[in-house]
Structure 1
Amino acid sequence: MRLLMLFAGLLLTGCQTHSMAPLPAPTANLFHYQLQNPQGSTLLLPDAVRQLAEADVIMVGELHGHQGIHRFQADLLAQLLSQPRPLALAMEQFSRDNQDTLDAYLAGEMGEEAFIKKSHAWPGYRSDYRPLISLARDASIPVIAANAPRHLVRCIGREGADYLRRLPANERKWVAERLTLADDAYKARFMENRHHGQAPSEQQFAAQTTWDDTMAESIQLYLQQHPGHSMMLTVGRFHIAEGLGTAQRLQQRNPRLNIVLIYPVTADEALPKAPLWTLHVAPLPASRLKGEPLPAFKRGEPDCLAGSVSVLFGPPARNS
């Protein structure tokens, strides 16, 4: 597989994309973005799209809730829709068990309020993902609910991958057939992240790779069934950082795919060491100032009996 890491950063002015002029700094405001190639040259979006013409899969990493990144995703999708190659949109933000609801909304069979409720859309759907769904709906392209259901992932995080053996067939299909649990570079990277000073457990890594393997399998199956198509995926940037996670799992499933990764970097972060494409955006406001307490958030605990899981979850982390 040809893996092109497009750690993308595009800084958009108020003009239309096709007439966008490079801004002097990628941190002008949260709506700006700036794309640079590995040589450090700033590219206009139409020029970048021409270079993406041969890509089979374009994975656009995001900081969840970042206006500039979500604007870039919509701008990129609109440009890709003008290309002759058939295109599908895959999204981390919807899980496989809600594919029928997503299809019904795209077909005009329900209103937005019902869609948001029945699909368990993320809290930022209206501001962050509505433009993508609207573009796909208007263009009559498929949208793939690529992820594993969050309630099943949490049960895996508590009980490990063996939990999947207890699921009935109608639920087991919502998670990738094969999970990548080996001690690879992605696992090492995940285990380095500590929460309240504690290293993650094996069960927590199994939950993490459930997302990655399921998204990778969802893409692989669609492209296998639709030869000649290309796909754009919206996904948290951790899932594609350093070419690992979802990108690595997809590469393992189909080494022949030409995958492009678009990775956002804020002005307060160091650039990747490797010569990658970068999407420069302004940093988000600090969630908490020094000394401020963590917000109280009560999570329901899942009942992980097969077929009886019911639990509410909070919004995803911004950098997941």
Structure 2
Amino acid sequence: MKKTTLVLVLMLLFLNTIQAQHKYAYKIYTNKGKSISYGKMIKKLDVADVVFFGEFHNNSISHWLQLELVKDRSKKSNLVLGAEMFEADQQSALNDYLEGKLNQKALDTVITLWPNYHTDYKPLVDFAMENKLPFIATNIPRRFANEVYKKGGFEALVPLTQEQKEWMAPLPIAFDINLPQYQNMLKMMGDHGTVDMVKAQAMKDATMAYFISKNLKKQTQFIHFNGSYHSNYKEGIVWYLHQYKPSLEIKTITTVEQENIEKLDKENFDKADFIICVDADVTKTY
């Protein structure tokens, strides 16, 4: 009996030593902090009509896994892709690029792309082009969101032309200032936080949800890329999408960074169905 116990102790010490010799850039957890493999996560996404991938915009692991997830999900589902990083008035130019009517140099001159587009989002767009997948520009034009923030809330959008209003969620939109994530925004901004600032965020969330709902197709999975705050705790875009399509099966992924990734910090529980926990030392893309 003593010999068996000693063997078990030695085996555990050996396994711990081996594990300590490996450096992991990230680990994936469920919403309750249980470790899960990438393969199992991909399989559990089978049931989803919509998958939200919440990123840190400068996190290299987020961007790499986004592309890997799209490659792997495309083997199992027909896909539609969409992203916060494209605004609805850019859809025509984006379509021209996807159809080969514009090259990258031309696209760069026709629309304003995010500064990290070429390293972080172009691989997703090019995958869509190569595989003839729709890629939806879901966000409200930034200038209109700024109008909400600076000029009196949703009412600032009323004078816009009918064409301009087609680039956003239909007015009036539902708005709940008491949603925890919106309340947290106000707290984070302190004296600089205003209700109109939160309304600008809500207008982005509502618009992204609206264009996702408009582009859903039967037997197709929509994968959406956005900053993690827009979908954490299934609020933001997810909350609005449920207003448009209450019966949808939605799965969420988020990104967090920790100094120690061997165990998910409790403060990161429940942020999403699947939580990609990245070592804080991982190289940033900008």
Alignment TM class, shorter chain as reference = 0.7 to 0.9
Distance 2:19 2:116 in 1: 30
Per the alignment, in what secondary structure is the counterpart of residue 65 of structure 1? coil
Matched, 1:234 2:225: yes
Cα distance in 1 between the residues matched to 2:122 and 2:283: 25
Partner of 1:278 in structure 2?
A: 275
Task: Name the residue aligned to 1:136.
Answer: 128
Report the alpha carbon displacement of residue 37 of structure 1 after superposing the two structures with TM.
2.7
Q: Which residue of 2 aligns with 1:306?
A: none
In structure 2, relative to structure 1, the CA distance for the partners of 1:24 and 1:181 (3 Å cut) is farther
The structure-2 alpha-carbon separation of the partners of 1:134 and 1:213, relative to structure 1 and needing over 3 Å to count, comes to same
| Residue deviations 1:7-28 (CA, integer Å, cap 9, x gap) | xxxxxxxxxxxxxxxx958x95
Match of 1:265 in 2: 256
Q: Which of 186, 190, 206 is residue 185 of structure 2 equivalent to? A: 190
CA distance in 1, matches of 2:162, 2:228: 31
Aligned residues: 258
TM-score norm. by structure 2 comes to 0.83
> Runs of 5+ in structure 1 lacking a partner?
1-22, 288-317
Offset of 1:152 from its aligned partner?
Answer: 1.0
Q: Which residue of 1 aligns with 2:94?
A: 102
Using the alignment, how far apart are the partners of 1:59 and 1:233 within structure 2? 5
Tell me, what secondary structure is at the counterpart of 1:145?
strand
Structure number with higher helix proportion: 2
Most deviating of 151-160 and 261-270:
261-270
Structure 2: segments with no counterpart, 5+ residues: 1-17
Match for 1:139: what amino acid?
A: N
State the Cα distance separating 1:117 from its structure 2 match.
2.9
Q: Distance in 2 between matches of 1:80 and 1:130?
A: 18
Q: Is the 2:81–2:134 Cα contact (8 Å) retained in structure 1?
A: yes
* Paired residue secondary structure (2:191): coil
- 164-173 or 183-192: bigger deviation: 183-192
Instruction: Give, in angstroms, the shift of residue 274 of structure 1.
Output: 3.5
* Counterparts of 1:145 and 1:66, CA distance in 2: 21
Tell me which of 118, 128, 134 is aligned to 1:126: 118
Within the candidate set 139, 153, 177, 2:145 is matched to 153
Amino acid in structure 1 at the alignment position of 2:78: P
**Cα displacement string for residues 244-276 of structure 1 (whole angstroms, at most 9, x for unaligned residues):** 111111112211101111011111494424495
Q: In 2, distance between residues paired with 1:192 and 1:124?
A: 29
User: Secondary structure at the residue paired with 1:53?
Assistant: helix
Helix, strand or coil at the partner of 1:166: coil
Larger radius of gyration: 2
Structure 1 length normalisation: TM-score? Answer: 0.74
Please, which of 34, 37, 49 is the counterpart of residue 27 of structure 2?
34
Q: Note if contact 1:36-1:278 (Cα within 8 Å) is conserved in structure 2.
A: yes
Q: What's the CA shift for 1:119?
A: 2.6
Calculate the aligned-residue CA RMSD, in Å. Answer: 2.5
Amino acid in structure 1 at the alignment position of 2:59: H
Which shows bigger deviation, 175-184 or 148-157?
175-184
Q: Do the aligned residues in 2 keep the contact of 1:81 with 1:139 (CA within 8 Å)?
A: no
**Alignment match, 1:89:** 81
Distance 1:42 1:116, change over 3 A: farther
C-alpha distance after superposition, 1:18-51 (max 9, x if no partner): xxxxx958x957xx33222346454333332111
Contact 2:31–2:269 under 8 Å retained in 1: no
CA distance in 2, matches of 1:285, 1:38: 22
